[in-house]
Structure 1
Amino acid sequence: MPPPPPEPAPERKQHPVVAGLIALVGVGLAIGLLAGGATLVATRVMGLGAETTATDSTARQSMYLPKPEATTASAASSLPTLPAASEPTGPVLTTPTKDTGITLTAAQTTVGQMGRIDLTGTYPTGEGAVLQVQRASGPGDDSWVDFPVSVTVSGGQFSTYVQTGRTGPNRFRVIDTDSDQASNEVTITVQ
């Protein structure tokens, strides 16, 4: 009797979805490697990947604020002078206080809620000083709290604005953050 025929090898089942995913991953890797290589070559050619030294980085610094110094008479005469305003730009309301050299004025006396309140002033001896805007805690209260606005004196003058939603009379002043000298106060009614 002849030996029985060999059994056929089991058929291999193909999975077209798996084969498609493997092909996609392979193509994605190839494209990613090519794109990465091209980017690397482009950055080298353009010099974007060049190393910088400490001297290079300090040469590019642009923020420098010198300490204020007293102005001499000869230097003061070379400064430009601003022309005086011919008319007031709006009502000015100030409250007298001891003279600290800081004068504060407000262009408005009444504004709506969150209306712009323009604060300007002079501080002839405070060149470069940082002034913190403060508001009185309450209408009859003499305690002051920092308002989230500060301004720097330039040319003996300063100018900023504030906005508030607190209705009623609001009293503002500015205070020199170094010397704690305060300006006069101004009162603005917020409706």
Structure 2
Amino acid sequence: MPEPERKQHPVIAGLVALVGVGLAIGLLAGGGALVATRVLGLDAAETATDSAARQSMYLPQPEKTTASAPSTQATQTAASEPTGPVFTTKTPDTGISLQAGQTTVSPMQRIDLTGTYVGGEGAVLQVQRATGPGDSWVDFPVTVTVSGGTFSTYVQTGRAGPNRFRVIDTDKEQTSNEVTVTIG
């Protein structure tokens, strides 16, 4: 007995072939992309680890150094919000002297703070801003390291009006004179 004739479905056969070719091309492209990311070092786990490592901060304890070849450069860090100083007022002589590079600035304009700290080599100074007419001071998010007996940094603030600044050696509880900068 002769076999029954099969009906061919050329459209279905074409679709199956198309899906098969698409799947093969997708797998090859995905594998190639995976190999390329590994070869180029774009591995997500490594990127996350490197990013986290760069965000951490280690601050060593200051150490005495020899007096040979003092550096003329001071460490400089930037900040946004609180503000900066300008006019100098006398305070008890602690060896820390602070000057402001500007007396009046626009909101968020750079205010340069420089000074000297005799005997403070390697000290980390915290910038502070007065919170009112009294003697209440809060830490501004800026620190600066003394190098060669000098220091230099800058601050930026949007707080309008007169802003009083000073620096403090938190290890020795010694403060500088105040400087006043008018914002606005």
TM-score (norm 2): 0.64
Counterpart of 2:135 in structure 1 is 142
Does residue 93 (structure 1) correspond to residue 87 (structure 2)? The answer is: yes
In structure 2, the CA distance between the partners of 1:150 and 1:64, relative to structure 1 (3 Å rule), is closer
Deviation at 1:96, TM superposition (A): 0.8
Indicate which of 62, 66, 83 corresponds to 1:68: 62
Indicate which of 164, 167, 171 corresponds to 2:157: 164
Deviation at 1:13, TM superposition (A): 7.4
Does residue 105 (structure 1) correspond to residue 99 (structure 2)? The answer is: yes
Report the 3-state secondary structure (helix = DSSP H, G, I; strand = E; otherwise coil) of the residue aligned with 2:23: helix
In structure 2, the CA distance between the partners of 1:113 and 1:158, relative to structure 1 (3 Å rule), is same
Counterpart of 1:56 in structure 2 is none
Q: What is the percent sequence identity of the aligned residues?
A: 70
Amino acid in the other structure paired with 1:97: T
Amino acid in the other structure paired with 2:135: D
* Structure number with bigger Rg: 1
In structure 2, the CA distance between the partners of 1:35 and 1:185, relative to structure 1 (3 Å rule), is same
More strand by share: 2
Supply the RMSD in Å over aligned alpha carbons: 3.7
In structure 2, the CA distance between the partners of 1:149 and 1:42, relative to structure 1 (3 Å rule), is closer
Would you say the 8 A contact 2:64–2:122 is kept in 1?
Answer: no
Q: How many residues align?
A: 153
Higher RCO by CA contacts (8 Å cutoff, separation 6 or greater) = 2
